[in-house]
Structure 1
Amino acid sequence: MTIEIRHIVFDIGRVLIHYDPHIPYSRLIPDDAERNWFFANVCTHDWNLEQDRGRSWDDAEAQLIEQYPDHEERIRAFRRHWQEMVSHAYVESVAIMETLVGDGRDVTMLTNFAADTFREARKLYPFLDLPRGVTVSGEIGLIKPDLAIYEKHARDFGLEPAHTLFIDDAEKNVEGARAAGWNAVLFTDAEKLKSDLAAHGVAL
């Protein structure tokens, strides 16, 4: 027997909007090997994740510039050129979300995102205002896949975990949602999302 899904929670980056820091840096550091070294050693994924957890960009930049003074301009370019990194929306995924909202489904969003860049994203992509609400990691100091962020989202929005379906592009975040008692699916593309929703009894 399929459990009734009453709440649908979307991740944002790489589910609804594209995110790729290589976009501006392909221009700033044209050499592939040099650019890959920079992301592996200087502006790393883990470094950027701390801004998603709430660290200020000033503190983040200062820390790296102290370690890598010769790369100061390249470090500062990360925030300066952030909007280029979110280059486009995933039109088909957004259409699914809009259909769910339009059908009266309870749709919210749960995202690892720095507070200031999320404000910019909302201006760039107004459809982010369509769901009932959003939990932004950088605003609350919690981050996926920590159990606490799922529990806080469920409390804040009155979600019943067993009747909640979460959509995220990262396996560890999907597993985190399941640990919180949610149903969860791994996003790869819009067609798979449609079939995953149907498998959970959510018709479009």
Structure 2
Amino acid sequence: MQPEAVIFDIGNVLTRWQPEAFYDRVIGEDRRRRLFAEVDLHGMNLEVDAGALFRETIYDWADQYPHWAVEIRWWYDRWIELASPRIEGSIALLRALRGKGVPVFSLTNFGSYSYEEARDKLDFLSEFDREYVSGRMGVIKPDPRIYAMLEEDCGIAADRLLFADDKAENVTAAARRGWRTHQFESWEGWAARLVAEGLLTNQEAGL
């Protein structure tokens, strides 16, 4: 039996999310390592993903570390560079599914405010049939509550949901609820899974 809906994570599924790579390019690996050792930038980002204000949170953290203030503010000022490049093959899969009438949802750890700002920069964010954004929901993956909230809202049985995420812990949490899951490594691998599930042909999937 085919899945009734396909669920995409965003970071590292539809667009790259590798902040360390950005900082390596801009300030060099050695200085980046010092920055990340002294400032918990991923912890800061989790605050945003959980619903904290976007710019204000980052600028508040910058004020706490004046010797790194410029670099910390880049997390907001140059956010689109941190979230680049787009994974065009995955975006094409999203569009191919929708073109066949398959409901496509997002389930993402993403701040509510940063998500709205990102709409102007990442056009595919407006193409989901339903959006499940941690900052709006007040809970982040892999907390089981976020998966339960999605199930309750969409009304689709767990075993009829197919979910792609790059993080093993997020995939495992979904699988424990009975979801069909795919740990994303490449768009081609995700395309092959969609074909195997009978949702797309090889040609439709770009294979």
Taking structure 1 as the reference length, the TM-score comes to 0.88
- 2:97 is matched with which residue? 100
Question: Which of 34, 37, 42 pairs up with 1:37?
Answer: 34
Decide whether the 8 Å contact of 1:21 with 1:82 is kept in 2.
Answer: no
Return the alpha-carbon distance in structure 2 between the equivalents of residues 95 and 180 of structure 1.
28
Q: 2:57, 2:11 → 1: CA distance?
A: 23
Normalising to structure 2: TM-score of the pair?
Answer: 0.87
Partner Cα distance (2:71, 2:77) in 1: 10
- Counterpart contact for 1:23–1:84, Cα < 8 Å: no
Task: Give the deviation of 1:22 after TM superposition.
Answer: 3.8
Taking the aligned partners of 1:145 and 1:55, their CA distance within structure 2 comes to 18
1:127 equivalent to 2:124? Answer yes
- Give the deviation of 1:43 after TM superposition: 4.1
- Given the superposition, is the C-alpha separation of residues 85 and 59 from structure 1 closer, same or farther in structure 2, using an over 3 Å criterion? closer
1:184 aligns with 2:189: no
Task: Give structure 2 stretches of 5+ with no counterpart.
Answer: 202-207
Alpha carbons 1:112, 1:143 under 8 Å: kept: yes
Distance in 1, matches of 2:62 and 2:129, equals 37
1:124–1:201 Cα change, 3 Å: same
Match of 1:150, as an amino acid?
A: Y
Deviations 1:11-54 (CA, angstroms, capped at 9, x unpaired): 1111111223245534652x311112212331432331221111
Aligned-residue RMSD, C-alpha: 2.0
Letter in 1 for 2:162: L
Aligned residues with identical type, % of pairs: 34
Query: Displacement, 1:198?
Result: 2.7
Looking at structure 1, the residues matched to 38 and 154 of structure 2 have their Cα atoms a distance apart, in angstroms, of: 38
**Partners of 2:10 and 2:108 within 8 A in 1:** yes
State the alpha-carbon separation in 2 of the partners of residues 198 and 24 from structure 1.
34
> In the superposition, relative to structure 1, how do residues 60 and 77 fare at CA in structure 2: closer, same or farther (>3 Å)?
closer
1:50 alignment counterpart: 47
Deviations along 1:89-122, one digit per CA (max 9) or x if unpaired, are 2111111110000001111111111112211222
The code of the aligned residue for 2:10 comes to I
Q: Secondary structure at the match of 1:75?
A: helix
Matched residue, 1:140: 137
Question: Residues of 2 paired with 1:14 and 1:198: CA distance?
Answer: 21
Equivalent position to 1:86, from 83, 86, 107: 83
Q: What is aligned with 1:25?
A: 23
Deviation at 1:127, TM superposition (A): 2.0
**Partners of 1:76 and 1:46 in 2: CA distance:** 15
